[in-house]
Chain A
Amino acid sequence: MSKTNSAVKKPSKMKSASKKKTLMLTTMVLPGAIWLLLLRYLPLGGIIMAFQDYKIYTKAPSFINNLKNSAFVGFKNFKFLFATSDTWVMVRNTLGYNLVFIVLGLVISVAFAVMLNEVTHKFAAKTYQTLMFFPYFMSWVVASYFLQAFLDPTRGLIPHMQSNMGVTVTDFYNNTKPWPFLLVLCNVWKNTGYSVVLYLSAITGIDASQYEAASIDGASKWQQVLYVTLPHLKTMIIILFIMNVGKIFNADFGLFWNVPLQSGPLYPVTQVIDTYVYRAMTTTQNYGMSTAAGLVQNIVGFVCIMTANTIVRKVDPDSSLF
């Protein structure tokens, strides 16, 4: 091959090589992209239902035909949604529980991670970590049985003990009072181990010399936690916080659905937006209104996460999520 020839060919060769690379990498993205397109982007079109009196088009029932032939009703679904007293209850429950979960989860997990880091006996520390991570691997269905073992009205441990002691037996699955506490307990039970692992890994990443320096300067253990450990955890705490705040309108469906065994009398304290949407969709088949509820939930969630991220970016640009 002569010199001039190769000099002419080279750029075009490189170009085709880079084209081929782009093509190959695009084929890699494709399976995931198609999934996202079909299962995440396509449903965005279904948001139209929130503004419709969605009805099955009996002549040729299919999603597209139903959409085409359902009448537009503007914001009627939203008006109905906010007119019901259920709405206030489920918004209160969703926000209230999530707020408690976020704050309590943060405090308990950080505290446990700090404590676990101080355990001198390494085997004990490992064992504690292993045991407290266990519930994270259980589904809410299984967890509901665990709780039933203690609360079942006729055979459960607690009602049985109550009747043995001659105290009035608590009918747990019909009594709303204990549930706010029980649901928080279940959430802490299941998720603490996971966050402890996260925080602990961040703590063990801190250079030991910093603690030694602090201790030589006369800092107490408590001061070391305040001035060395917590500042190091700041980024992680902020990231997890933003993510949780962004999801503050999304409840953990399994917890609120399975753990109270879908007991009707408990709805005032267990109904959250997610369970409401599911119930509205399956029992009353009110697709328009349940889509509207889901849409409000998503818009508010979107605004929440954007706001949280913007605030964080202003305060500490390195900690922001995007």
Chain B
Amino acid sequence: MAKSQAMGGRKRRINAVSVPTEIIIHIVMILFCLLCIVPFIFVIIISFTSEESIRALGYSFVPQSLSTAAYKVVFDLGEMLYRAYFNSFYITILGTVLSVLVCVLYSYALFRRDYKYRTFFTFFSFFTMLFGGGLVPTYIVCKQLLGLSDNYAALIVPLLVNPFNFIIMRTFFASSVPEELIEAASIDGSGEYNTLFRIIVPISKPGIATIALLNALAYWNEWYTAMLYVPNDNKHIPLQYLLMRLQRNVDNLKKMAAQMGAEASKMMKDMPSQSMRMALVVMVVIPIAFAYPFFQRYIIAGLTVGSVKG
């Protein structure tokens, strides 16, 4: 099979599907891929559509006239937009670093067969995947006992640990770290932390990258914790939650902008509100779209290894 591939793309593999079948496969794939990507392209087009065109034609793939007014307004949101952008980046970066650190430490100990409390702590994290207190007790404990309310911690701490990532990470260690290596290091007098950070972490980079990217994605896309713990705090809300508040009602934006001291009156006069919302969507998606090629390679590589039974 490898030979026939090496001989060039045109020559078909011996055991390939028939040409008509392959054409059908291509058609199905293309249709589904269009379904996946066209909505985003459509939203980009809308964000560049002039307000007159939207009034006349509605949202359309071929607008009457284009305009960048929406983006101008978005940038005029000033303080509020920058703040939300900053919050999203801040939460994503800090949250990813912390969650990866916690995950590496925990799963490394679980990976060590000679760790005395291995079984206990494996169960300790696994049990939480099976049973929990539910939304209400968790919400009240976080908000009232732990003080996770209207602060950055409220957006970072609730997503810090994911027991499933512990399993993935431990599987990674098991598949990439030979146990003799740890023994050798310990005979050489290397301390546990030294062994982990100097020897194990460097050879487990692909696995750590996968966990880091999955966590970064979770933090960037977060709106749920914001809705629960910082619902009315404009200072800390991330982009996704800002967007969520504008889902049905652009008026919210006026109120919020006014609270943030933006030049509301100037800005709101002829606001291209429809295209503006879509422009905001585009700006939320853009960082992911840029990171995406890099993301997906690592995540695919990671899932391939991590999907092995924990």
CB distance from B309 to the nearest CB of A (A): 7
Contact A63 B136 (CB under 8 A): no
Contact B58 A154 (CB under 8 A): yes
CB distance from A80 to the nearest CB of B (A): 15
A302 CB contact (under 8 Å) in B130, B137, B277: B130
Find chain B residues with CB under 8 A from A146 CB.
39-40, 42-43, 281
Given contacts A135-B36, A298-B132, A305-B130, contact A22 B1 (CB under 8 A): no
Contact A281 B292 (CB under 8 A): no
Chain B count of residues within 8 A CB distance of the other chain: 105
Contact A42 B145 (CB under 8 A): yes
A137 CB contact (under 8 Å) in B39, B145, B292: B292
Given contacts A26-B117, A298-B134, contact A197 B36 (CB under 8 A): no
CB distance from B36 to the nearest CB of A (A): 5
| B247 on interface, CB distance cutoff 8 Å | yes
| A294 on interface, CB distance cutoff 8 Å | yes
Contact B303 A198 (CB under 8 A): yes
Find chain A residues with CB under 8 A from B42 CB.
146, 149-150, 157
Select from chain A the residue with minimum beta-carbon distance to B24: A115
| B160 on interface, CB distance cutoff 8 Å | yes
| A35 on interface, CB distance cutoff 8 Å | yes
Contact B134 A291 (CB under 8 A): yes
Interface residues of B in 243-257 (CB under 8 A from A): 243-244, 247-248
Interface residues of A in 16-35 (CB under 8 A from B): 21-22, 24-26, 28-29, 31-33, 35
| A316 on interface, CB distance cutoff 8 Å | no
C-alpha gap A122/B121 in the complex (Å): 44
B102-110, B171-179, B258-266: which lies at the interface:
B102-110
Interface secondary structure of A, over-half rule: helix
Interface residues of A in 39-75 (CB under 8 A from B): 39-47, 49, 62-63
Contact A35 B43 (CB under 8 A): no
Contact A29 B121 (CB under 8 A): yes
Contact A36 B161 (CB under 8 A): yes
Find chain B residues with CB under 8 A from A148 CB.
247
C-alpha gap A118/B25 in the complex (Å): 8
| B296 on interface, CB distance cutoff 8 Å | yes
| B7 on interface, CB distance cutoff 8 Å | no
Contact A236 B37 (CB under 8 A): no
C-alpha gap A310/B193 in the complex (Å): 39
Interface secondary structure of B, over-half rule: helix
Interface residues of B in 81-125 (CB under 8 A from A): 101-103, 105-106, 108-110, 112, 114-117, 121, 124-125
Contact A38 B146 (CB under 8 A): yes
| A139 on interface, CB distance cutoff 8 Å | yes
Select from chain B the residue with minimum beta-carbon distance to A318: B309
Select from chain A the residue with minimum beta-carbon distance to B49: A155
Find chain A residues with CB under 8 A from B130 CB.
246, 302, 305-306
C-alpha gap A76/B284 in the complex (Å): 45
A-B CB contacts (within 8 Å), total count: 293
C-alpha gap A201/B25 in the complex (Å): 19
Contact A120 B22 (CB under 8 A): yes
| B6 on interface, CB distance cutoff 8 Å | no
Contact A258 B115 (CB under 8 A): no
B39 CB contact (under 8 Å) in A35, A147, A277: A147
| A99 on interface, CB distance cutoff 8 Å | no
Contact B141 A39 (CB under 8 A): yes
CB distance from A225 to the nearest CB of B (A): 10
| A182 on interface, CB distance cutoff 8 Å | no
| B203 on interface, CB distance cutoff 8 Å | no
B15 CB contact (under 8 Å) in A29, A47, A215: A215
B136 CB contact (under 8 Å) in A132, A239, A294, A305: A294
Contact B1 A212 (CB under 8 A): yes
Given contacts A36-B128, A142-B243, A145-B43, contact A156 B59 (CB under 8 A): yes
Contact A157 B278 (CB under 8 A): no
Find chain B residues with CB under 8 A from A128 CB.
29-30, 32-33
B70-78, B204-212, B216-224: which lies at the interface:
B216-224
Contact A149 B9 (CB under 8 A): no
Contact B137 A47 (CB under 8 A): yes
Contact A254 B224 (CB under 8 A): yes
Find chain B residues with CB under 8 A from A43 CB.
132-134, 137-138, 140-141
C-alpha gap A96/B252 in the complex (Å): 35
Sample of 9 A–B contacts (CB below 8 Å): A39-B141, A43-B132, A63-B140, A128-B32, A137-B221, A138-B221, A141-B241, A144-B247, A321-B309
